[in-house]
Amino acid sequence: MGEFTLELNEDQKQVRDWLHGFAADVMRPAAAEWDEREETPWPIIQEAAKLGIYSLDFYAQQFFDPTGLGIPMAMEELFWGDAGIALSIVGTGLAAVGVLANGTEEQIGTWVPQMYGDANDVKVAAFCSSEPDAGSDVASMRTRAVYDEAKDEWVLNGTKTWATNGGIANVHVVVAVVDPELGSKGHASFIVPPNTPGLSQGQKFQKHGIRASHTAEVVLEDVRVPGSCLLGGKDKLDERLARAREKAKAGGERVKNAAMATFEASRPAVGAMAVGTARAAYEVALDYAKTRVQFGRPIIENQGVAFQLADMATQIDAARLLVWRASWMATAGKPFTAAEGSMSKLYASEVAKKVTAQAVQILGGNGYTREYPVERMHRDAAIYTIFEGTSEIQRMVISRAIAK
């Protein structure tokens, strides 16, 4: 177990500086173009793959960092570069986490590499949980998975929405209902292999922000997948469902479902993304305030501006500390007894919205134009309080945790 520390070691600093260079030299110059195009930036992903940033090995190294700080450090630097492009680069990670959290060793070894491809032929993956009538309310999920025992196949039907890389992914991880009577406890996750008949892309969404990241519906019509594509295997699922039925009869403790396990593991990482966007906007506003002269002096010498910047810097640091604590706790195996993962995601996402709005205000009319990046950063920041659990859901999780 890694000791908690606020100081990055030399290896971590080298990785941070390497990622920062990629974000500054490759991502930022291309950010405005891909935001306008609203397309997946395949050339940028391929460049990341050639450098080793977009790869299973890189994310595994960060994931298994004994301090827990590898992933949040990486997320902050990439999202400092640009949130839309960064999400295109790291979006596959949510599907990978879904397999790592719920799959067998054989499933992890078989499917996670196929999610990334290689530098010459990059691939992406999609995690499909939300539905048109079941976003935060996972108990209302309608996508069904029915087992065909004669063929040892699962048949999936339904529609998923808000799926990053949905429809263009090489591998889809789909959460579906296997026992409707158990509500959210009757869910399971399935791998849908490449080119499986019946899976298609539905509506592609035109979004307010993170526009370089592909978001779409995924339609499943009699999609058949082998029994081996049930994450964790059927024996484990049958045992879990049996426990859930017994506890439901006894009114016992909650049983986590596959989607919740994935989101719980990824919430601090989303918090780190928000920190990166907030930090980027703060730095633009700080530089602008030092050079923008009004009434004969730089505007940072005006208390109204200086105090805003002081609050922005303080809130960003506080958000980072919450993210780092939660990330360390997860790696150290310490339970989130007070929903520390949700705390980090909630606070960091709210800070990102507030700080980017303040950055626009400090730049005044310039901040409202696309000539300066804070306008785009402010649009991008809105997503952090929405995806992977809205701020309201995070508050519900936290309140339940502290109320025991």
Domain coordinates in residue numbering, the chain: 10-122, 125-246, 258-403
The answer to whether the CB of 237 falls within 8 A of the CB of 229 is no
Query: Which segments in the chain show pLDDT lower than 50?
Result: 253, 255
The predicted model scores a pTM of 0.91
- Give the pLDDT score at 3: 65
- Give the pLDDT score at 246: 85
Closest CA to 84 of 355, 386, 383, 352: 383
- Give the pLDDT score at 237: 93
Distance CA(13)–CA(19), nearest Å, equals 10
**End-to-end Cα separation, the chain, in angstroms:** 27
CATH architecture for residues 10-122: Orthogonal Bundle (1.10)
Which homologous superfamily is 258-403 in?
Answer: Butyryl-CoA Dehydrogenase, subunit A, domain 3 (1.20.140.10)
- Give the pLDDT score at 321: 97
Distance CA(299)–CA(291), nearest Å, equals 8
- Counting Cα atoms < 13 Å in the Cβ hemisphere of 282 gives 24
Q: Which helix (H) or strand (E) holds 107?
A: helix 105-116
Per-residue pLDDT tens over the stretch 187-227 = 999 999 999 999 999 999 999 999 999 999 999 999 999 99
| Other Cβ atoms closer than 10 A to 318 | 14
- Counting Cα atoms < 13 Å in the Cβ hemisphere of 200 gives 6
Distance CA(118)–CA(55), nearest Å, equals 7
Is 388 catalytic? The answer is yes
- Counting Cα atoms < 13 Å in the Cβ hemisphere of 345 gives 29
CATH code of 125-246, in short, is 2.40.110.10
Distance CA(256)–CA(241), nearest Å, equals 11
**Is 274 exposed, middle or buried, given 0-12, 13-18 or 19+ CB atoms closer than 10 A?**
buried
The residues facing 298 across adjacent strands are 293
The answer to whether the CB of 74 falls within 8 A of the CB of 15 is yes
Per-residue pLDDT tens over the stretch 94-124 = 899 889 888 999 999 999 999 999 999 999 9
Q: Three-state DSSP class for 7? A: coil
Closest CA to 271 of 161, 387, 393: 387
Instruction: Give me the catalytic one of 217, 340, 375, 388.
Output: 388
10-122 and 125-246 share one CATH topology?
no
Type of residue found at 187 = H
